[in-house]
Amino acid sequence: MTQPVNPADIHNTILAQQKAEDRKKLAINTVFIAILLVAPFVLYPVFLMKILCFALFAVAFNLLFGFTGLLSFGHAAFLATGGYTTGYLLSQHSGLTTELGILAGTLVATVLGLAFALLSIRRQGIYFAMVTLALSQLVFFFYVQSPFTGGEDGMHGIPRGELFGLISLEDNHNMYYFVLAVFIACYVLVQRVVSSPFGQVLRAIKQNEPRAVSLGYNVDRHKVLAFVISAALAGLAGSLKSVVFQLASLNDAHWHMSGEVILMTLVGGMGTLLGPVVGATFVVNVEYQLSQGPLRDWVDPILGGIFVLTVLAFRNGIVGEIQKFVRRNLG
């Protein structure tokens, strides 16, 4: 009765399934990219760029929080450092092309990230969060005092300049496609990191750190590397943001910003790739729509309410809940 099973057949079936899965993913990604490509003709490009910058910031944060389980409460420091460095260099050196300015901003944020990581990584849980918060407050006070940041007035009139010295970024559409390209590249990078063996170790650390240690992984080194990548991407988001808005302000360095990125990640769905993107889009939109309407006095209480609701009732966030729903009913 039993049919002889050919191992090659099983292999082929798995391959076919994987191919179908890949095709589905590719189709979804193509649709998303197509939407993003057309978006600036329908929606206001500066607003879209703002969403992309915050989405990148949230993706960076999620790499650390969602995938490694480290709650940093100091990511605003990297956002601001990227922004101020890029802004300062581009304003002071007119010969510098925009992409080099952005690169420099990212680099400085990366170095700062390494310093933060080495100091904070030895502590866990709430202590880790508090150490990162304390360090980012130090950075905040440095920016308050430094004359080059313009203090609480902020740094203004940062030139957008030209990409590679050729393409004028003054044009909102050019700027948008540049930001979009950087965003997609970073998103793909994070996707690769998460699905690589390195990413698997990060997940293992999140789920059970002592076990990861007992399996022989150098947990601290993995954590530091994850922290540094996350800081670098957050710095990149800040650099892009300063070029898009042509300003860098203290708001980016304030601990509120560190809180906001946690909100974005949680609302969107932490530990999912798309979650922070959806979360950032959601939060930026809610803030914008509310601040225009009759409820504008209530923006903060409403965002707070959404946060509480998410934590209490929808712990997986928007994307997480949708995935759960799809798995339960359609899978």
Partner 1 sequence: MTMMKKLLTSAVASALMVGGAQADISDNTIKIGYLADMSGTYRDLAGPNGLAALNMAVEDFGGKVNGAKIEVVSADDRNSPDVASSTVRRWLENDDVDLVAGLVASSVSIAVSDILEENDKLGIVSGSAASSITNEHCTPNHIHYVYDTYPLANGTASAVVKEGGKSWFILTADYAFGHALESDVTRVVEANGGEVIGTLRHPFPTPDFSSFILQAQASGADVVALANAGADTTNAINTASEFGITQSGQTLAALLLFLTDVHALGVEAAQGIQLTTGWYWDMNDETRAWSDRFMEKTGVRPTMVHAGIYSSTLQYLKAVEATGSDDAQTVRKHMMETPINDMFAKNGRIRADGRMVHDMYLAEVKTPAESKSEWDLYKILRTIPADEAYRPLSESKCPLVSSK
Task: Identify which of 74, 93, 60, 67 has the alpha carbon closest to the alpha carbon of residue 200.
Answer: 67
User: Would you say 107 or 299 has its CB closer to partner 1?
Assistant: 299
Q: Does 75 bind partner 1 (CB under 8 A)?
A: no
Answer yes or no whether residue 138 interacts with partner 1 by CB under 8 A. no
Which is nearer to partner 1, 42 or 313 (by Cβ)?
A: 42
Q: How far is the CB of 253 from partner 1 (least distance, A)?
A: 12
The verdict on 41 binding partner 1 (CB under 8 A) reads no
Any contact of residue 307 with partner 1 (CB under 8 A)?
Answer: no
Question: Of the candidates 4, 147, 216, 331, which one interacts with partner 1 according to CB under 8 A?
Answer: 147
Residue owning tokens 């007992």: 214
- Report whether 176 contacts 243 (CB < 8 A): no
Pick the stretch among 13-21, 30-38, 42-50, 116-124 that binds partner 1 (CB under 8 A): 42-50
* Least Å from the CB of residue 214 to partner 1: 46
User: Does 153 contact partner 1 by CB under 8 A?
Assistant: yes
Rule CB under 8 A: is residue 47 a binding residue for partner 1? yes
Contact range with partner 1 by CB under 8 A, out of 121-129, 209-217, 292-300, 322-330: 292-300
Nearest to 113 by CA among 223, 209, 206, 213: 223
Residue 44 in contact with partner 1, rule: CB under 8 A: yes
Q: Which is nearer to partner 1, 227 or 245 (CB)?
A: 245
**Identified binder of partner 1 from the candidate list 110, 249, 281, 316, rule CB under 8 A:** 249
Q: Please tell me the distance from the alpha carbon of residue 215 to that of residue 200, in angstroms, as a whole number.
A: 13
Q: Residue count at the site for partner 1 (CB under 8 A)?
A: 33
As given in the structure block, the two tokens for residue 188 are 């793909």
Nearer to partner 1, 39 or 193 (CB): 39
Name the residue among 329, 190, 209, 198 with its Cα closest to residue 265. 190
Spatial CA neighbour of 303 closest among 289, 315, 320: 289
Q: In the structure encoding, which two tokens stand for residue 149, read together?
A: 């940041």
Cα–Cα distances in angstroms (integers) from residue 213 to residues 93, 221, 283, 288, in the given order: 48, 11, 37, 45
Stretch that binds partner 1, among 94-102, 240-248, 262-270, 321-329 (CB under 8 A): 240-248
Q: Which of 4, 7, 95, 157 binds partner 1 (CB under 8 A)?
A: 157
> Contact between 154 and partner 1 (CB under 8 A)?
yes
Half-sphere exposure for 32 (CA within 13 Å, toward CB): 13
Cα(204)–Cα(217) distance, rounded to whole angstroms?
10
What stretch of H or E contains 167?
A: strand 167-168
**With binding defined as CB under 8 A, does residue 259 bind partner 1?**
no
Per residue, the 3-state secondary structure of 42-97, as one string, reads: HCCHHHHHHHHHHHHHHHHHHHHHCCCCCCCCCCHHHHHHHHHHHHHHHHHCCCCC
Using CB under 8 A as the binding rule, whether residue 159 contacts partner 1 is answered as: no
Please report, as ranges, the residues that interact with partner 1 according to CB under 8 A: 44, 46-47, 50, 141, 144-145, 147, 150-154, 156-157, 241, 245-247, 249-252, 287-288, 290-292, 296-300
